[in-house]
Structure 1
Amino acid sequence: MGIRFRVNAAISFIAVIFLLVTSFILIDDRRKSIKEEIEAGTKVTVQLLESVALSRRPFLGGVDPVEGLAGFLRRAGRVRANEIRLYDQSDTLVYESPPSVYKQGRWAPEWFSRLMSPGDREFQLNMPFGYIVITPDSSRSVLDAWDELRRFGLILIIFFVSLNLAIFGLLGRAMRPLKGILSAMSLLEKGDLSIRLPDYKLPEFAAIGHTFNRMTTNLHDALAQNARLALVAQQSSDAILICDLEGNVSFWNPSAERLFGFTSSEILGQSIQTIVPDEGLGLHDSMRDRVSQSRIIEHYECQRLKKSGAIVDVEVSMAPLVDPDTDQLVGQISVLRDMTDYKSRISAEMQLQQNKRLTQLIQEKLEEERKSIARELHDEMGQNLTAIKTIGTAIANREPDEQSITRQNALTIVDVTSRIYDMVHSIIRELRPSALDHLGLADAITDLCDQHRRANPELDLQLDFEGEVNRYDEYVNITVYRVIQECLTNAAKHAVASKVSVFVSTNVKESGIAQIMIRVQDDGQGLDANASESRRFGLLGMRERVQAFNGDIKIESNMGSGTLIIADMEVVIDDAKHDV
């Protein structure tokens, strides 16, 4: 017997057991319900007749009590599921309740009636003028139970037949994979290793499918792994070559062709020493000996020879090539990476660092020279101007006549000298802000902002600090000061801004290293491609100053929406100054 028929037989057996158990439960429950219903109906009927028979109403008006009670019973008709018979004192039947009209003419099978009937026990109610016999009739309730059971049985039979047909059809569909299994085996026989069987739920098919899939997967993975390794070697950006134990090239990928200029047909079978310079043969032989001892060489920088005779700097990694079946050394595999671009990049980075250091040195020397010039202007020219102003004042004071030419000329000299003195002090502040030397960076920036407020009363200038800014040396301080000074000058003169915000923050990133951020934003007219040369040179100067401290400047601006300048620098903390 096949799987299909065995499963149908098992389902049919379970369904029959379920049907029998369900029928037993339903019949037992219905039998109890009929019993309770008949007992309750009989009890109500007896109580009703007792109350009527024992009352004095049937005897009123000189009416015969038997006839009066019979008339009452005729008017009442059939009382629930009970047959009522009235007898007089001579045992003559006076009244018998009419038969039930409910489902009249229909009866449940006799065996079912015997099974369901609770037993028709008669009750006799004795009275002075006769007696009443009450006989419970459960035939209608039994008939209802029979009808319900028959409907339920019909439903179960329909369900059972439908279930068997559905299972038979589903099993037919479940057996269809046999055709697929046979087809897959045929394709495998023809060499198609990509064929796979689905995961079947039936144990027989599952065992066949799993075994078949494992077999094809192992075969496919072995071939795919070989193909992937070949593809990696072919498409790698590094030169990959394999040499046998005699040192002859047995594999040469396209990157090796591009690096050395030899095609595969030209180099295969040739000695690897073809691409080794004469002065590097000894080192190459030493490396091959180390690899022959199952040692790996990684990232060793050396030189190799191109087909054109040019020398190329490469990074070599070598490893032994071992046969996985015999665990014997069969050759060596080498990976070579062109280091020309890398060394050029390193050289450019070193040159950039040197340029940064040179820029920083130039800025330091320039600030020293500015400081020297400012000192000379203050000490020499300032004193001379003061002396000229004092002499002019003395000459003016000796002339009693206020309208004399001598007094007027002396006062003119005093006025011109005062203006020159103020100009010299302004130049000194531009060359070297004295507040940096006497007050510190925070106060110097505050003084700079106050100067711009006085020079531009309509300018709303806001200044905020975050962190400790008075901890750096004078070269860091002057850089921060000059960047803010240039930003404020651009905002006032070129951007025509009405509001400028300056924010300076500093935080320690790691031991001895701090990050300084300068953020200046205005609501001016913004930058455009046709900005003046002076403004572009100012931005370039700021960028050079910041880059000297491993920083950079970010500028965000649109025409009519203002300008945002953010400068970030990394500087060394002056711990000695901070401790003070």
Structure 2
Amino acid sequence: MSLRVRINLVITLVTVAFTAAMVHVIVNDLRSSVREEIESTTRVAVQLIETVVAGVYLEPGPVQRTEALLALLRRVGRVRSNDIRFYDESGALLYQSPPATYRSGGWAPAWFGRLVRPEVAAARLKLPGGTIVVTPDASRSIFEAWDDLQRFALLALAFLVLVNVAVFWLLHRALRPLPQILDGLSELTRGRFHVRLPAFRPAEFAAISLGFNRMAQALEESLAQNRQLALVAQQSSDALIIRDLAGRITYCNAAAERLLGYAQHELVGSPATLIAPADRHDELRAQLESIERRAPLELLETQRLAKSGRVVDVALSAAPLVDPASDRVIGEICSLRDITGYKRMQAAEHELEQNRRLTALIQSQLEGERRAIARELHDELAQYVTAIKTIGTAIASRAGEAKPDIRDNATTIVSVASHIYDIVHGIIRRLRPSGLDHLGLAETLRDAVSGWSQRHPQVRWELALSGELDGLGEALNITVYRIVQEALTNVVRHAEASSVRISVAREPATGFEDALVVCVRDDGRGFGQAAAQENGRFGVAGMRERVQAFGGSFAISGTAGEGATVRAVLPVTGAERAAPLQTRA
């Protein structure tokens, strides 16, 4: 039964009850009114007859009195609401008042007559020669009362119908938003939280609409957040696992399935020891105890066991899962990241660092050996060659013109010794540029380029130096010099270039705040990019190893017919790592 019908039914029942009460009151009033009317008219009728009779008994004889009384009664006729009869002494009816003409066609139900008819006794007047009986007749009063009651009933019925129609119409207007509200609630139960209600005119329904829309908005936002969280959890590249305080897995995402090789239904409900090596079970228990104390774990390097039996190195982060309603820890949220590749990278970086240190040590040893050999050549062989030149010159001077053969041989010896001396000094310069120890990097490079220019005048040489190049340290100085030396050797041997530009600049470079940028560019025949990356060609391996020993970057590029470029970036702080190796060497 709808709300409107119920309200109408209640109003109808209240109206009917009120009408019944009013009918009861009215019937009582009618009963009293009819009784009072009958009693009063009966008294009037009796008094009237007594007055009439008193005048009649002045007649001399009984017959005359009887005739006079009958004549008077006939003239009086019918008295309202009373029936008058005159009986002689023998009981014979001599007179009866005529029937009432007022409301002669009136009618009232018998039950109503019994309900309002008063119990009034007939009045009897004993006279000489007969008896007058005045009998109350309430029928006409009952008819009137019934008519009044009918009018009231019709009025009450009309009022009842009017009230019900008005209330039904008003309720229909007032409750018009209810179907929309019910439809909105029905949509919410189906999960369609985008539904909104319009602003209704009644204040109460306007408040309901506002509250409904706020609730729907909150549910929609909460659902969107939950969906986003679910998508984040499901699409996360990290394995996410939730376990309860009993140590059983209650959730895992797709990344966890890929990492461990288990399907979701195989993990959910299983103890966490399933995915941990035997020697890590105590760690799992300690981890859960830490979570119960609300102490999170960050990037703990540990191991997990895949379904295949493979032990996976992982970085574990864990946090307590707290019930917001009770603020109790109910489990653990754990993320696992596979760091097998990271471990390999660490091992490779460690190995690379060891290789760099070994390369630096080898370079240091080589430089030490070169220094020693250059010293020996300078101190021993050069001195002997100088002595040979001096002896040859002396022999040639003594032989003079007298001994031309001896003089010529001595001159040849001097010439050969000079040539050997030049070769030895060239070897010494290549083994160890003496200028680095006395003049610094900038002057040594200028001297080296000047030497190349003298030996190869057909090539235009350009040297550009910028920044503070003094005080860089022996290791960095010799590395820069060797790179320039190797690059220029390649140019002379292979490039067939007409111009070469060498630049050494101390400036910030990509990844370094303070670095030496060495660049050697020529306009020779160049080479393909694949050939440039071959470590065995053009001394690339040696140059790259020297640069890597300092943690720098090395690149060689070229295009056939357009020349080549060698570029090395050496961090100035890299010399601090290389210096101890030289000391140990």
SS of aligned partner of 1:356? helix
Provide closer, same or farther for how the CA distance between residues 420 and 256 of structure 1 changes in structure 2, counting only shifts above 3 A: same
Kept after mapping to 1: 8 A contact 2:476/2:575 = no
Residue identity opposite 2:318 in structure 1: M
Partners in 2 of 1:294 and 1:443 — Cα distance? Answer: 66
Asked whether the equivalents of residues 320 and 332 of structure 2 are also in contact (C-alpha less than 8 Å), the reply is: yes
Structure 2 CA distance for aligned equivalents of residues 429 and 398 of structure 1: 35
Q: For 2:568, give the aligned amino acid.
A: A
Letter in 2 for 1:193: R
| Residues 119-177 of structure 1: CA deviation (Å, up to 9, x unaligned) | xxxxxxxxxxxxxxxxxxxxxxxxxxxxxxxxxxxxxxxxxxxxxxxxxxxxxxxxxxx
- Give the 3-state SS of the residue equivalent to 1:337 in structure 2: strand
State the Cα distance separating 1:471 from its structure 2 match. 0.7
Describe the shift of the 1:532–1:566 C-alpha distance in structure 2 as closer, same or farther (beyond 3 A): closer
SS of 2:525's equivalent in the other structure is coil
1:188 aligns with 2:168: no
The answer for the alignment partner of 1:569 in structure 2 is 570
Q: Does residue 468 of structure 1 match 2:471?
A: no
Q: Which residue of 1 aligns with 2:414?
A: 414
Q: Deviations over 1:513-567 (max 9, x none)?
A: 8411112222222223557989824122111111111111223322222223221
Question: Residue in 2 aligned with 1:324?
Answer: 324
Q: Percent identity between the aligned chains?
A: 45
TM-score, normalised on structure 2?
0.61
- Pair 1:404 & 2:428 matched: no
Cα deviations across residues 56-78 of structure 1 (Å, max 9, x unaligned)?
xxxxxxxxxxxxxxxxxxxxxxx
> Structure 2 vs 1, CA of residues 550 and 531 (structure 1 numbering), >3 Å: closer, same or farther?
closer
Instruction: Write the distance in 1 (CA, Å) between the matches of 2:569 and 2:321.
Output: 52
Q: Which residue does 1:288 correspond to in 2?
A: 288
Question: Does 2:553 align with 1:552?
Answer: yes
Alignment gaps of 5+ in structure 1: 1-177, 576-580
Contact 2:517 2:568 in 1 (8 A): yes
Q: Any idea what SS the aligned residue of 1:374 has?
A: helix
The CA distance in 2 between the partners of 1:198 and 1:185, in whole Å, is 7
Report the more deviating stretch, 454-463 or 564-573: 564-573
Q: Which amino acid aligns with 1:547?
A: Q
Would the aligned equivalents of 1:555 and 1:564 in 2 still touch at CA under 8 Å? yes
SS of the residue 1:536 aligns to: coil
Cα 1:533/1:427, change in 2 over 3 Å? farther
- 2:478 aligned with 1:445: no
Q: 1:440 to 1:253 in 2, by over 3 A?
A: same
Is the deviation greater in 249-258 or in 534-543? 534-543
Q: Are the aligned partners of 1:184 and 1:195 in contact in 2 as well (CA < 8 Å)?
A: no
In structure 2, how many angstroms separate the alpha carbons of the residues matched to 1:261 and 1:495?
57
Hey, what does 1:501 align to over in structure 2?
501
What is aligned with 1:99?
A: none
Partner of 2:356: 356
**Closer, same or farther: CA 240–375 of 1 in aligned 2, 3 Å:** same
Question: After the TM superposition, which residues 145-544 of structure 1 pair with which residues of structure 2 at under 5 Å, given as runs?
Answer: 185=184, 188=187, 191=190, 193=192, 195=194, 214-401=214-401, 404-507=404-507, 514-528=514-528, 529=530, 536-544=537-545
* Residue 209 to residue 536, structure 1, CA distance change in 2 (3 Å): farther
Distance 2:563 2:183 in 1: 73
- Residue pair 1:518, 1:568 contacting (<8 A) in 2 also: yes
Q: Tell me the amino acid that sits aligned with residue 539 of structure 2.
A: G
Deviates more, 1:486-495 or 1:475-484: 486-495
Q: How far, CA to CA, are the matches of 1:423 and 1:239 in structure 2?
A: 69
Q: Distance in 1 between matches of 2:449 and 2:357?
A: 30
1:300 to 1:532, Cα distance in 2 relative to 1, 3 A: closer
State the AA in 1 paired with 2:430: E
Aligned partner of residue 506 in structure 1, secondary structure: strand
Distance 1:216 1:519, change over 3 A: same
What SS is found at the alignment partner of 1:565?
Answer: strand
Q: Tell me if the contact between 2:181 and 2:197 (Cα under 8 Å) persists in the aligned partners.
A: no
Structure 2 distance, partners of 1:199, 1:396, is: 124
Question: What's the C-alpha RMSD, in Å, of the aligned pairs?
Answer: 3.5
1:401 & 1:188 partners in 2: Cα distance?
129
Q: 1:574 to 1:551 in 2, by over 3 A?
A: closer
Greater C-alpha radius of gyration: 2
Letter matched to residue 550 of structure 2: F
Q: Distance in 2 between matches of 1:414 and 1:191?
A: 111
Unpaired runs of at least 5, structure 2 = 1-176, 577-585
Q: Number of residue pairs matched? A: 394
Deviations 1:247-283 (A, max 9, x none): 2111122222222233222232222222233333333
SS at match of 1:463: strand
Task: Rate the CA distance shift 1:488–1:183 in 2: closer, same or farther, 3 A.
Answer: farther
Checking the alignment, whether the CA contact within 8 Å between 1:395 and 1:410 is kept in structure 2 is yes
Query: Where has structure 1 moved over 6 Å in runs of 4 or more?
Result: 181-184, 197-200, 202-212, 531-535
Instruction: From the superposition, tell whether residues 366 and 189 of structure 1 become closer, same or farther in structure 2 (CA, over 3 Å).
Output: closer
Local SS of the residue matching 1:316: strand
CA distance in 1, matches of 2:414, 2:516: 46
**Residues 82-108 of structure 1: per-residue CA shift (max 9 Å, x gap):** xxxxxxxxxxxxxxxxxxxxxxxxxxx
Q: What are the Cα deviations for residues 278-324 of structure 1, in whole angstroms up to 9, with x where unaligned?
A: 33333321221121122222212222333333332222222221222
Distance 1:560 1:471 in 2: 39
CA change 1:207–1:558 in 2 (3 A) is farther
Check 1:189–1:347 CA distance in 2 against 1; reply closer, same or farther (3 A cut).
closer
